[in-house]
């Protein structure tokens, strides 16, 4: 990191090699579009490297970079005018995730099933499960209500369960 702060090109490259794949996949989970995700990846690394001096090593560089990637991915999503359907906020509790019962997870199959989810479902599920966002944070980020986030998440889980059962 010290070498990066001194502007060492090879140190930047090492960081890029280390983080490009997980960051790209994080962006893909939100955008589900290679071109857009590669744009985000490029912009995120450039932004992070340009501001590397302001990075305080309290947390890991990866976490810091991940925040940039997620924020930029969500920005890109907003530019696509992604609409999150406001769903009925009632009876959320009734929509259980029983569809997943008895499913044995497989990493690749699970990711492929997530990729198949409709955009709105996929984004909320990704933020909640992968990025540890609370529904309140998701609601703020996406400009939706907290209950909408919850209901969309439950529906996403239900659909995901159905996809996984199809695959088994």
Number of residues that bind other proteins (CB under 8 A): 49
- For the record, the structure tokens of 159 come out as 């659909």
Question: Which range touches other proteins (CB under 8 A), out of 43-51, 84-92, 116-124, 143-151?
Answer: 43-51
Give least dist CB 148 to other proteins, A. 18
- Nearer to other proteins by C-beta: 84 or 153? 153
Give least dist CB 46 to other proteins, A. 5
> Binding marks (x or -) toward other proteins, 55..94, rule CB under 8 A?
---------x--xx--xx--x-------------------
Spell out the residues 6+ positions from residue 44 whose beta carbon is closer than 8 angstroms to its own: 23, 27, 65, 68, 69, 72
Count how many residues are written for the chain. 168
Say how far apart CA 67 and CA 74 lie, in whole Å.
11
> Binding marks (x or -) toward other proteins, 90..119, rule CB under 8 A?
-------x--xx---x-xx-xxx-------
Spell out the residues 6+ positions from residue 24 whose beta carbon is closer than 8 angstroms to its own: 37, 38, 41
Under 8 Å between Cβ of 32 and 118: no
Contacting residue, 3, 6, 8, 9, with other proteins by CB under 8 A: 9
């Amino acid at each position: 990191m010290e070498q990066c702060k001194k502007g060492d090109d090879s140190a930047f490259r090492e960081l890029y090699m280390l983080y490009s794949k997980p960051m790209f996949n994080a962006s893909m989970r939100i955008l589900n579009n290679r071109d857009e995700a590669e744009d985000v990846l490029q912009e995120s690394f450039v932004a992070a490297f340009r501001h590397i001096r302001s990075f305080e090593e309290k947390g890991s560089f990866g976490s810091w970079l991940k925040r940039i990637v997620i924020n930029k991915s969500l920005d890109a999503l907003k530019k696509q005018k992604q609409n999150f359907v406001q769903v009925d906020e009632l009876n959320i509790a009734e929509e259980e995730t029983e569809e997943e019962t008895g499913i044995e997870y497989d990493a690749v199959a699970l990711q492929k099933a997530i990729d198949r989810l409709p955009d709105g479902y996929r984004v909320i599920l990704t933020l909640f499960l992968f990025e540890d966002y609370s529904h309140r944070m998701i609601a703020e980020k996406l400009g939706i209500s907290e209950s909408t986030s919850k209901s969309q998440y439950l529906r996403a889980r239900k659909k995901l369960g159905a996809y996984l059962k199809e695959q088994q």
